[in-house]
Amino acid sequence: MSFIEMRIPIKIPPGSGRNTAFLNQQSITAAGWDQVNQLTSAPLRTWDIRRWICSETDFQQCYHFFLAAARGTLNRFRFKDLDDFQSANPGDEVRPQLAAGTAANIFQLQKVYTAGGQYLYREIKKPVEGSVRIYVSGVLQQSGISVNLTTGIVTFGSPPSATPEAEFEFDVPVQFASDEFPNTWEAFRVFGADITLREVRV
């Protein structure tokens, strides 16, 4: 098992679905009280790409990716979630701050989701090359930093004077949910497939 730093070549069709799920443990006491333990602080997502009707070229690219790169469920890879692939949320007026790392000059890319004063922080491990912009006190940093595209870790040459902020796009680490690749022949050089992708932690 390994992570392949490639994005699956698939175009998401209308009608596909995404499910976001936390892992909580719920129980009811003898007295009738409801108890819930949160087993993970961050949810995982699943994408059901149903009735993907595509050209022969698009189908062959994805099919070859399944065979040669992913090898079924064996290897993990990148996926662009068209519903959520940017650091900023709709209507955001500020950039998300970077999370503190293992030293004063090391930070982790993250996305922040908010609702009514509540926050969920999502570590971003797979930023997209060429999309990351780092700011300190509102000033774009042109040098003196490095961004690891395989971990989302940002390293400064020296500790910054303020908590840095970032703008970026990102992919999601996923795997095929099945070792099977069901597909149909729809018409001349037109194919169909049903694919499920599952987010993984890296």
Section 137-152 average pLDDT: 96
- At 32 the three-state DSSP class reads coil
pLDDT at 48: 93
pLDDT at 183: 87
79 HSE (CA, 13 A, CB side): 29
Q: What is the DSSP letter of 86?
A: B
**Alpha-carbon dihedral sign for residues 54, 56, 58, 62:** positive
**Spacing of C-alpha 165 from chain mean position:** 19
pLDDT over 80 (residue 51): no
Range in 44-58, 66-80, 148-162, 170-184 with the lowest mean pLDDT: 44-58
pLDDT at 127: 98
Instruction: State the pTM of this model.
Output: 0.90
Give the residue with greater pLDDT, 6 vs 55.
6
Q: Determine if residue 52 is left, alpha or beta; phi over 0 gives left, psi from -120 to 50 gives alpha, anything else beta.
A: beta
Between CA 185 and CA 164 the distance in angstroms is 51
Section 51-58 average pLDDT: 84
Going by their DSSP bridges, the two strands 183-187 and 133-136 should be labelled as unpaired
pLDDT at 56: 87
The tens digit of pLDDT for each residue in 155-189 reads 999 999 999 999 999 999 999 999 999 888 887 77
pLDDT over 90 (residue 129): yes
The tens digit of pLDDT for each residue in 36-46 reads 898 888 999 99
